[in-house]
Chain A
């Protein structure tokens, strides 16, 4: 009896497998890998980046997929949770590369991306790194795509504008995670070179601290004109609100990880943010591609506003699809990587809301950066030199 049951199950399994493979014959599927934080404190961020990929895949599939070498292909996003840990990201990437045959694996954090750079060339997949750490593309890895432009492009404008509008004394209370340290190590010398003075340095654990009162009041006791802040948007908002509660009147330099519109969703009063400079939030970006993307996203997600990480990931997968077409292969990562720059350049603006025009030879994207400065409770655009 038991044997009979097993054999029927087996038969059913074979039938199912046969059915699935025949379905796959009609239209090949390209698995795109994603490993990022989908649970824990950074889950929202991970989910936002993943949403960008899923939205791009759904749109491409809806329009019939892509045609490469006479075959039709659709995209399937395979997402694994790495809880923000580089070691788990590496394990996930191994699985995605070997079991799912993913030609591209996206990672939305620098730690995970560095871990994947150790073996992506041997395992033959393109690393789509969502991090603006400039060093990401300086390590000689030939299969890396750095999705957002390097943050080095923001620094000059941030320094010049805030120093002019708020003053020369800076207190640095950014996060103490890797990414914030990388920012601080570029920002501090730039500030000093421009004639400014760093009066206090007190980095805080944005993700782990229960309260920012002490850290902020310690920095404020040095009487700074400007505060350097930054981590995820929501804790950054708490830090900024605490500073205002403690009577701070000066300006803020907001690291690009935090977005002014998301900060305002916590504080609920844009005038509290007067004197803050940060990346232009996608929702206030007036460029055509970005505006159209925000509207499409809102329509599909009950009026929720997308962040720039969603638009960058969305653009990246569109560029990968284009690059596959241009390279005439869905499997050879080197050939696909070589066509990425051309692919980004050829995207129509509605598929390129991040306004990226090319990729340099090391795999870093170039984009026209727009910076946002808050004045009288409004985010004003400031053009920055593109990097």
Chain B
């Protein structure tokens, strides 16, 4: 029972991080209609900024998270203005190439500033919670809790507020939204900001149980792509459920089958789900 619970906890932890990253990716996809490859770099930069603020400036973990979320949000908005906006009328391929370029650029900049070394963000809560014979490091519980709060918050923002609804409206029909007076410019800036902030928060939550290094974004971005394909491109519930599916598949696969096969399990699941539902689990709200 204990072992089973450990895997559930682990699946939830991984799933929460994946979902947060995938949410940002899926939101931007809804607006831009391209997969934003630079999202993994936003994740990585988020971790570095938290590391800098919490480490060198000695700030509290939560302050570091807020600063990092704000900084990456601004960075995402700048990249929208400087890179994706000027390319809005060119073929989708150009956006993709630009996104990959941005990814490489950010990685190189981070490596130039902080070097290739591995860094650590100390965990804010190091206690290990024990219930009967179940153990759960506090940081993992924190990741799950924070991710759930954020997802609920995002859902409320998108469904219940006017500003949030403009994003959903633009994703559903760009021209229609513009006709009723929604500014596409504001919406895409806002979407990029949210997506960047989500990546930074996910990275800050995950960093204490992992390491910070320039290539860290590769690990999650590939999985995030699988997740949004699985969940349906552009779908918000799809990103959350997809993240959990992949997280649990990895965690249980690594434990009950073999660690060697855990990625295969996730991808076989992808093939299986897509052959049954080619549109993904939750057909996108985009079109």
Contact = CB atoms under 8 A, between A and B. Distances in A.
Interface string A142-186: 000000000000000000000000000000010010000000000
Contact of B14 (A40, A43, A211): A211
B95 interface: no
Interface stretch (B32-40, B167-175, B212-220): B212-220
A44 B115 CA distance: 8
A189 interface: no
A198 B117 CA distance: 34
Interface in A7-63: 38-41, 43-44, 46-47
A246 B210 CA distance: 16
B267 to A, nearest CB: 13
B107 interface: yes
Given A43-B214, A235-B211, A218 B118 contact: no
B42 to A, nearest CB: 17
A245 interface: yes
Given A44-B116, A208-B219, A213-B6, A246 B254 contact: no
Interface residues of B, number: 41
A253 B13 CA distance: 29
B205 to A, nearest CB: 13
Interface in B4-19: 6-7, 10, 13-14, 17
Nearest to A201: B258
B209 interface: yes
A203 interface: yes
Which label, helix, strand, loop or mixed, suits the secondary structure of the B interface? helix
B3 to A, nearest CB: 6
A323 B255 CA distance: 52
A77 interface: no
A46 B116 CA distance: 9
Nearest to B219: A210
Nearest to B117: A44
B80 interface: no
A211 B10 contact: yes
B215 A41 contact: yes
Contacts of B252: 214
B260 A210 contact: no
B219 A218 contact: no
Contacts of A209: 219, 259
A6 to B, nearest CB: 32
Contact of B135 (A215, A221, A234, A247): A247
Contacts of A204: 254, 259
Determine the interface band of chain A, counting residues with CB < 8 A from chain B.
20 to 34
Q: Which one of A217, A235, A266 has the greatest number of beta carbons of chain B within 10 Å?
A: A217
B3 A221 contact: yes
A43 B116 contact: yes
Interface string A328-355: 0000000000000000000000000000
Interface string A201-237: 0111100111101110110010000000000001100
A214 B14 CA distance: 11
A215 to B, nearest CB: 4
A328 B245 CA distance: 66
Nearest to B140: A213
Nearest to A37: B116
Interface string A236-252: 00100000011100000
Contact of B128 (A46, A218, A245): A245
Contact of B250 (A38, A214, A218, A238): A214
A247 to B, nearest CB: 7
Contacts of A43: 111, 116, 213-215
6 closest A-B pairs (Cβ-Cβ)?
A43-B116, A214-B254, A234-B118, A215-B259, A213-B10, A44-B116
28 contacts: A39-B107, A39-B214, A41-B213, A41-B215, A43-B116, A43-B215, A44-B115, A202-B259, A204-B254, A210-B17, A210-B220, A210-B223, A211-B13, A211-B14, A211-B250, A213-B10, A214-B7, A214-B250, A215-B255, A217-B10, A217-B255, A221-B3, A234-B213, A245-B128, A245-B137, A246-B6, A247-B135, A266-B211
Interface of A: 38-41, 43-44, 46-47, 173, 176, 202-205, 208-211, 213-215, 217-218, 221, 234-235, 238, 245-247, 266
